[in-house]
Structure 1
Amino acid sequence: MTTVVFLLTPGLHLLDLAGPAQVFSTAADTGLDYRVRYVAEHADVPTAQGVGLRAETDMPRLGSDDLVLVPGWRTRDGVRRHVLGAGHAAALVAHHAAGGTVASVCSGAFALGDVGLLDGRRCTTHHELQEELARRRPRARVIPDVLYVSDGGVVTSAGIASGIDLALHLVTTRHGPATAAAIARNMVVHTRRNGDEPQASAMLRHRDHLVDIVHRVQDTIDARFRSALRLADLAAAVGVSERTLSRAFSAATGLTPLRYQQVLRVEHAEHLIGRGATVEAAARAVGFQDARMLRRLRSRPGAVRL
């Protein structure tokens, strides 16, 4: 079981907490082995939005597969003081030192900076706070205009709703993009992945829509992209005509179902080639009969090259 600990601070923003908490809760509902815990210095936690929360006060025992996440908070006077008690601060540092992942949403990055976890690392925070964070933590490299940054087991995200993107990214790294896309679909949010990574999986990149029949067909293609998939069978599976499916799929993703499948095949082939496979072996592994089609698709402008 993976434990996700939300380390709560007074005045926290509800969406900083609720967004990623919903991602991991939904992951658990789909059968993944997650347990969400809420820990704070004091059992009663006031929030910036006026709703009080209750939390545990003792940090649970954690392993290297577990996650500690600090949501952001609002200050009354604009001064960002140290908000973590000595015990919880030490537990946060010890968890990271033992190989665990720590993360923050919005101004939660200041808490990570206070305990030295941003030193020498790339990071981000809410756009209105980036200059302040860079000034206070000169040894950190604050990255603007991204939703999240991952560097050495420390994952930081921008403001408020970007905590959802951070959590989906963490699910992607552990369980793959198809699982993250399914969770995003369940939550009725766009699946975005424009953190600091130059490549975004096609499974996520083309899920930025709310068309149910297209999502269902994408689920099938994602799971069976190595197989020969007939348009007629895909259309029949969702109860529409081939013409209707083609139009809906193209409007939602910018691709035909066949082209989407080809993009997935090429993307997976590039991963295999990057790990030492020959073009011929990679082509066979992803479902091409021979390497000629793979070479042709790889040579297209804009083709994925890892």
Structure 2
Amino acid sequence: MSRILFLLVPGVHLLDLAGPAQVFSTAADLGLGQTLTYVAEQPVVPTAQGVPLQADTVWPELCPDDLLLVPGWRSSGLSSSDQWLAPDTLVRLSEHHAAGGTVASVCAGADALGRAGLLDGRRCTTHHDLQDELAARYPRATVVRDVLYTLDDRVVTSAGIASGIDLALHLVAAEHGPAVAAQIAREMVVYARRNGHERQESAMLRHRSHLDDTVHRAQDAIDARFDSRLPLGGLAASVGVSERTLTRLFTRATGLTPLRYQQTLRLERAEHLIAHGATVEHAARTVGFEDPRMLRRLRARPTLPTPATG
């Protein structure tokens, strides 16, 4: 994602826009190269909360690496906003996707994707108050309820309001890795959460759903060097607490001891290597185990339950 282009519609909800924008701007602050651009069909866009926004009316040239995102807006129903996006704007949405780009929506923004023909034959979601209407307007779409977001062939939709943050964090994790997404979530003081019914694909995100800064700093250190020897004393000293305090805080926040967390990261990476053809012995050495038998024992353990959030 080299450019994040937000398409603003009159009555746009500030959090629908600001949540993803904060995620991507924080990614840019970390040096990941994102550029944020805002376009609309008029230079001044009224928002649902009363703060007017300025936007460009001339679209930049987009490439397949760019993300085109439509935040949601306030309306009495989806049909009431039919006049807000001109046909050529909807064509831009469909053409970007046809060229290999990713399109996304927050809340009512899914209707813009539907009008552009991008929901037909795909899974999608929107705010729970709008799901029935979305399903009725686009009967060829599969509206998924009770999820934070959906992804289907470079068409990404989220449930609305704060769920746009979850969508953006997922996109960052997919492109730059879960450790970066976790770092951004920590900067924003939000949970690095995923859809509850889906498999938590990364331990770095799965065990970051807490707000303990000491534990986050310890996790930062482990994430960066999980394949190295990390004595508990050195780890505790690096975050300014005793070994006993770190173990207590870490276990309370993540459900794991620091050592078990490190082993979980090693095991996850080793499983990835093995799935791509590496031998157990090679995978064990790569992730930092001196003896492959340790990796074999960890692989034989039952899967750890996902920690509760909220």
* TM-score normalised by L of structure 1: 0.95
Amino acid of the structure 1 residue aligned with 2:299:
R
**2:51 is matched with which residue?**
51
Q: Deviations over 1:110-158 (max 9, x none)?
A: 1101111111111111112112111211111111111111111111111
Q: Deviations over 1:193-221 (max 9, x none)?
A: 22774233111111111111111110010
CA distance, structure 2, for counterparts of residue 299 and residue 130 of structure 1:
43
* Identity rate, percent: 68
Alignment gaps of 5+ in structure 1: none
CA distance, structure 2, for counterparts of residue 96 and residue 195 of structure 1:
28
**RMSD value over aligned CA atoms?**
1.6
CA distance, structure 1, for counterparts of residue 73 and residue 160 of structure 2:
11
**2:149 is matched with which residue?**
148
* TM-score normalised by L of structure 2: 0.94
1:30 aligns with 2:30: yes
**1:264 is matched with which residue?**
265
Name the SS of the counterpart of 2:195 in structure 1: coil
**2:116 is matched with which residue?**
115
Amino acid of the structure 2 residue aligned with 1:93:
S
Name the SS of the counterpart of 1:277 in structure 2: coil
Query: Is the Cα–Cα contact under 8 Å of residues 89 and 115 in structure 1 kept in the other structure?
Result: yes
Give 1:293 shift.
1.3
**2:66 is matched with which residue?**
66
**2:274 is matched with which residue?**
273
Q: Which deviates more from structure 2 when the two are superposed, residues 123-132 or residues 103-112?
A: 123-132
Name the SS of the counterpart of 1:214 in structure 2: helix
Alignment gaps of 5+ in structure 2: 306-310
Name the SS of the counterpart of 1:182 in structure 2: helix
Q: Which deviates more from structure 2 when the two are superposed, residues 11-20 or residues 139-148?
A: 139-148
CA distance, structure 2, for counterparts of residue 170 and residue 84 of structure 1:
26
- Aligned pair count reads 304
- Following TM superposition, the consecutive aligned residue runs of length 4 or more in structure 1 with deviations greater than 4 angstroms are none
CA distance, structure 1, for counterparts of residue 203 and residue 247 of structure 2:
18
Amino acid of the structure 2 residue aligned with 1:35:
T
**1:18 is matched with which residue?**
18
Give 1:94 shift.
1.1
Q: Deviations over 1:254-297 (max 9, x none)?
A: 10000000111111111112222222222222111232111211
Give 1:234 shift.
0.1
| Superposed counterparts of 1:1-306, under 5 Å | 2-76=2-76, 79-82=79-82, 83-194=84-195, 197-302=198-303
- Residues 297, 52 of structure 1: CA spacing in aligned structure 2 closer, same or farther, 3 A cutoff? same
Amino acid of the structure 2 residue aligned with 1:9:
V
CA distance, structure 2, for counterparts of residue 237 and residue 32 of structure 1:
26
CA distance, structure 1, for counterparts of residue 24 and residue 78 of structure 2:
31
